[in-house]
Amino acid sequence: MVNDDRIVGGQEAFIDDYPHQVSFVVNNTYFCGGSIISENWILTAAHCSQNVDPSTVVLRGGSSWRKNGTIIPIEKVIAHPEYDNPAFDKDVAVMKTKEPIQFSDTMQPIGLPSIDRAMRGGTEVSVSGWGRTEQGAASIPERLMDVRIPVVSYPECFLSYFSVLTRNMWCGGNFFLGGQGTCQGDSGGSAIQDGMAVGIVSFGRGCGQSFAPSVFANIAAPPIRNFIKEHTDL
């Protein structure tokens, strides 16, 4: 099982279509994505940001290119206190910016769902990121990528991840055929449905594999949605 860092089976994308999307590097060592949810807050995954010193975070927004864009200084990083208990569960964190983000056509906040909003099997979500584009790839792409994937029903996903799946998660991808999904590098980015961020890229077995869909933290799940509300008032 690996935390997911890339888009598999997708295509090049434009930041104008995903103006909430940001990228960040921690300590020059690992790479994750995130989403602008207000002028002061970024949403990401706990596994990207647990025990992270804000001064080691280089976060960029506003560009389709990974190494371009506006650097957004971070003041504080807060991971869910119950992350990884049980394993992989409640994989959510928020990062507070030092200064309010100046919104533009390429930097905009994404909305959040109401608590307990259902993720229905067969509906589609869009996922963007700079993660690896195939399993085992040596490098991550310079250009933003995106993919549309179907939501996998909870019972189907449970067949693949029965030892770790909780109701604070949902799955996406082509369950039987594979070929599309997230991978190393996409972690922390959002899955978008109906103009809202409904999931946070969390983990998976391989990348775009059959019977191994991508797993997302369910933003509408009460333990996750309440954590976001508590810290950001959103």
Instruction: Give the model confidence (pLDDT) of 189-212 as tens digits.
Output: 999 999 999 999 999 887 778 888
Candidates 234, 224, 182; CA nearest to 93 is: 224
139 CB neighbour count, 10 Å cutoff? 8
Q: How far apart are CA 215 and CA 81, in angstroms?
A: 20
Phi, psi at residue 216, to the nearest 5°? -120, 145
Instruction: Give the model confidence (pLDDT) of 81-116 as tens digits.
Output: 999 999 999 999 999 999 999 999 999 999 999 999
Q: Does domain 19-109+222-232 have CATH number 2.40.10.10?
A: yes
Catalytic positions are: 47, 91, 187
> What pLDDT sits at residue 135?
65
CATH class of the domain whose range is 2-14+111-218: mainly beta
What number of H helices and E strands is found in the chain? 3, 17
Residue with tokens 């869909």: 213
Do 19-109+222-232 and 2-14+111-218 fall under one CATH topology? yes
Quote the mean pLDDT of the chain. 91
Would you kindly state where each structural domain of the chain is located, as residue ranges? 2-14+111-218, 19-109+222-232
Q: How far apart are CA 207 and CA 216, in angstroms?
A: 13
User: First-to-last CA distance in the chain?
Assistant: 32
Quote the pTM value.
Answer: 0.93
